[in-house]
Chains A and B, each alone.
Chain A
Amino acid sequence: MSQNFEKLEHFVRLRTEQENYLKVCDQKLGNWQKFKDDYLTLKSRLETLPHELRYEVMVPISKVAFMTGRLVNTNEILVLLGDNWFVEKSAKQSCDLIDRRLKNIEKFLDDLHKEKKNLQEQINWTENLLQEKGEYVNIEEKLEDEPIKQKSQKEISEEEKREIRRKLQEKALQTSLELENEIKKDFKSLYKPKENKIEKVEENTEEEEEEDVVQIVNNGPNFMSQLEEDIKNLDLGEKFDEDDEQLRNLMSEYDKGINRENNKQIEKDLKKQVKWSNVEESQAKKVENSQYDEDDFEYSESDEEEEEEEDDEIAEEYVKVEPIKIQIKHTANEFIEEQDRRLRLSREKPEINSPADIYSVFNKPKSILKKTSLTPIESDHILPVEHKKVEPKNAEMEKFEPQKAFTGEIVEKNVISIQSHDMGSENKKPVSKFKASKFSQNK
């Protein structure tokens, strides 16, 4: 109420000022009205003056003294035009002059009347305000409205965001389809009938929300095909081949599930099938952590460069249309991520009962094209002794996309390369002696 009271005071003052203005206006009006009246009487006098040649009058010679006299030359009148200019005119001409002056006066009077009206209206308005102020209390509501408006705006923005996401995803799908069609023509021989699923996976990988997608796209559709070949070359048994479809289904579904809207459902579905959820979640976290870790461990620049190099290499490989030899370059960043993930998994004690479990253990990526593959160190850390047999068979595979899970085989060589790589360039996170010893044992 104190605020109201202050404002009341302001308005009271405003009211008084307005009343003053009104008084001034009235004064002006009075003046002009007086002039007008004077001119009218003068005019009437002038009209009657020339009726006679002479008049006998009492002439004033001071404030209180008069004397008799005659008024002659009744028709000759000196008129003051203004600024010390006089003109001699007849009575009739001066009457015309008076008429012109009266016109001006009436103009002024009209203006003053309008002004007075405006002032009066303003006064009425302030009076009403003062009355309301005294009766009602309004001000508080306004503050409440503002946050609501903000909230509504936020809500609207979220909805808009969702719509924008959908539109972008649609566009991405379209563009990815176009790209894939072009690439398909070149690599049809390499592809197997399961290409469709790969495409779907690839389509789903292209989503704006995740930066890694951009890099994955370069790896392109060939990645999955090569992945399949590698998987088959592993000679892990029929089980794994059977799981290819499952793999692809899961991966495609998971890629689709990258949409946060669908994520929950897809995760549920995946959970029904395999223990993908943990891996997927960890992968998702890994993807999220990748960016975070980059900042923490200051590998960002070098890692990105490596990734880009890998992408370029892989793209080049794909263009050549040759049997796939994927070189995996594990960046230290990935090391860290996978180490973390391995630790988590190790705590959970994952049991590898089937080839599918291998993949689950080795950190299924969100999308096939993403770099969430296990580093050799991590893979060794998690892999039981059984898988060591598998490793030498794939020793040929030197180059592999870091994202892919077949690190078991690649692990050995990559360990060496990685170790050398670490030794050479990035000494920021040296391989732990424990892991190094493990690698040496595995060799």
Chain B
Amino acid sequence: MEAIQKKFEEELSKFQKSQSDLNKHISQRQILESQLTENKFVKEELDLLKKEDAIYKLVGPVLLKQDLVEASQTVEKRIDYIQNEIKRHENLIKETESKQDSLKESLNKIQQQMQQAKLKTMQK
């Protein structure tokens, strides 16, 4: 009976951990999505710009002047990077979900075992 309870507690902690991981991954993914949309918007604006206009990048408290071409390239690279990050996070999310399901099943089994043990003790 005690052994079963211990098992149950272990499984439960694992399950909670996996759940927290899942939440982290999901939130991270949301952030990345927002960044993606932002950068896409920046790219649109940069495309509209002519070469004359001055482009500044904020690095810390400093505004650094940038070239249009360079700026557009950096923004594109950043967009790609963010997309890859999103994919990675999606995979992580799937894995954690599957882990969670397996942990759920094990938890259920242990619960059943506990119930059976309880019944036995009751009968006794």
Contacts and interface: CB of A to CB of B under 8 A. Distances in A.
B49 A87 contact: yes
Interface in B40-97: 41-42, 44-46, 49, 53-59, 63, 71, 75, 78
Contact of A89 (B38, B44, B53, B71): B53
B57 A85 contact: yes
Contact of B38 (A82, A86, A88, A100): A82
A84 B58 contact: yes
Contacts of A100: 44-45
A78 interface: yes
Contacts of B44: 100
B100 interface: no
Interface in A63-100: 78-79, 81-89, 97, 100
Tell me the dominant secondary structure on chain A's binding face. Answer: strand
B58 A81 contact: no
B85 to A, nearest CB: 14
A82 B54 contact: no
A228 B56 CA distance: 119
A88 B53 contact: yes
B53 A86 contact: no
A46 to B, nearest CB: 16
Interface residues on A, range: 10 to 19
A87 B65 CA distance: 9
Contacts of B53: 87-89
A85 B35 CA distance: 13
Residue with the highest number of chain B CB atoms closer than 10 Å, among A79, A86, A100, A104 = A86
A97 B42 CA distance: 11
A78 B63 CA distance: 11
Contacts of A81: 41-42, 45-46
Contacts of A82: 38-39, 41-42
Interface in A89-128: 89, 97, 100, 104
A83 B63 CA distance: 13
Nearest to B55: A87
A267 to B, nearest CB: 62
Contacts of B54: 87-88
Contacts of B78: 83
Q: What 3 A-B pairs are tightest by C-beta distance, nearest first? A: A82-B38, A86-B56, A84-B58
Interface of B: 35, 38-39, 41-42, 44-46, 49, 53-59, 63, 71, 75, 78
Interface of A: 78-79, 81-89, 97, 100, 104
